[in-house]
Amino acid sequence: MKTIKDIAALANVSIGTVDRVIHNRPGVSKKTKELIEKIIREHNFQINKTARTLALNKKYDIAVLIPTIESSSDFWFLPKKGIEKASEEIEIHRTSVSYFYFDPSDFNSFKEAFDKLLQNSFDAALIAPIFLKETKEHLIQLDQKKIPYVFFNVEFQGANNISYVGQHSYDSGILAAKIMSLLIGNGEDILIIKVRKDSNQHSAIEDRASGFKSYFKTQAPPIKIHEIILPNIKDLPTVDRLISEQLTNHHIKGLFVPSSKVTQIASYIKENKLKHLKLIGYDLSDENAVFIENETIDFLIDQNAFFQGYEGMKTLFNFIINDVVPEKNCYLPIKLLTKENIKYL
């Protein structure tokens, strides 16, 4: 395949002149334009946007809006590693990546990070839209600037994103409910534990919980479902107290944690020797792996966090560099992990 640089050499003109002819821009004489078009036809020239980017010394900058990562056991550690892996692969194409971090429990931190992103000039953005209201407000500016963006991990309906990469949260909640129905008996209750401040802002968590509850609405006999929000997961005495208060209801036998913070609940169960409780949560961190090995956690639903970041970044790259329009929703497989299969991952 001939590149724009090859065509320029054959026509004895600059690369910029060839680019103007390809895109039908002014500034090229009729004679030169006809010569370049003749060469293009003779060599069956196909526009190779990546090669053109290199030839014109064009650079692309991609912004990433992602929660702050505290340790390797944090859920967001793996999406970040996926983004970094993709970034290494596309770096050769003069593409750079800038990160904007926010506290996932603080909507003001999210707004500030998004504001900083918008103060700069980027060709595309990869966004974890955890706070829906604040995301909606800031997307107006992205749309006005005609900056393409991809959502990952959290699905946001009604936006102009070119794609979403992540799990179908509602369906994953239904799967968790089906498994839970096999673990508990008739007349036993379930407690949904949301371990995130302002969790009602986090649509993925709410969608998982909604899918979970929807399954039991169709079942007979009816299962009673209780819900609790732990406002500060780092305040262990408060966490223990709130869970203890809920478990005074001795009918509760199943616990569903619609996030990776299932670790903290598993710690409570192990410390208090509550082996009769059945626990389902999300994501295979190093800590969660220990709890599923000793069967404190019965099942984990994995979101393929690494691939969310990797595929999100590659999707943006292929869109802005190679004009590849992705599927609106790139739903990842819903993986169910147990003690028996995590060793083979």
Q: Which three-class secondary structure state does DSSP give residue 216?
A: helix
Q: Which of 306, 260, 315 is nearest to 84 (CA)?
A: 306
Reply yes or no on whether the pLDDT at 239 is more than 60: yes
Tokens at 32, concatenated: 């030169």
52 or 341: which leads in pLDDT: 341
- For the segment 134-148, the average pLDDT, to the nearest whole number, is 93
pLDDT of residue 276: 92
Q: Report CA dihedral (116, 119, 125, 130) to the nearest 10 degrees.
A: 40
Does this chain's domain 4-47 share its CATH topology with 56-167+305-332?
no
pLDDT of residue 44: 67
Other beta carbons within 10 angstroms of residue 176's beta carbon come to 28
Give the DSSP H/E element, type plus range, for residue 202.
Answer: none
Mean confidence (pLDDT) of the chain: 87
Query: Is the distance from CB of 227 to CB of 164 less than 8 angstroms?
Result: no
Query: Is the distance from CB of 8 to CB of 14 less than 8 angstroms?
Result: yes
Domain ranges of the chain: 4-47, 56-167+305-332, 169-302
pLDDT of residue 26: 78
Q: Which three-class secondary structure state does DSSP give residue 20?
A: helix
- For the segment 8-21, the average pLDDT, to the nearest whole number, is 81
Reply yes or no on whether the pLDDT at 214 is more than 70: yes
Reply yes or no on whether the pLDDT at 196 is more than 80: no
Reply yes or no on whether the pLDDT at 201 is more than 70: no
Query: Is the distance from CB of 187 to CB of 224 less than 8 angstroms?
Result: no
Reply yes or no on whether the pLDDT at 282 is more than 90: yes
Q: How many CA atoms lie within 13 A of 319 on its CB side?
A: 22
Tokens at 147, concatenated: 């900056």
CATH architecture of 4-47: Orthogonal Bundle (1.10)
pLDDT of residue 211: 97
- For the segment 162-188, the average pLDDT, to the nearest whole number, is 95
Fold of 56-167+305-332: Rossmann fold (3.40.50)
pLDDT of residue 329: 94
Among 115-119, 140-144, 217-221, 263-267, name the one with the lowest average pLDDT. 217-221
pLDDT confidence tier of residue 242, bands split at 50, 70 and 90 = confident
Q: Is CATH 3.40.50.2300 the classification given to domain 169-302? A: yes
pLDDT of residue 9: 86
Reply yes or no on whether the pLDDT at 291 is more than 80: yes
Nearest-angstrom CA–CA distance, 120 and 104: 22
Reply yes or no on whether the pLDDT at 200 is more than 50: no
pLDDT of residue 72: 82
Reply yes or no on whether the pLDDT at 168 is more than 60: yes
Other beta carbons within 10 angstroms of residue 290's beta carbon come to 14
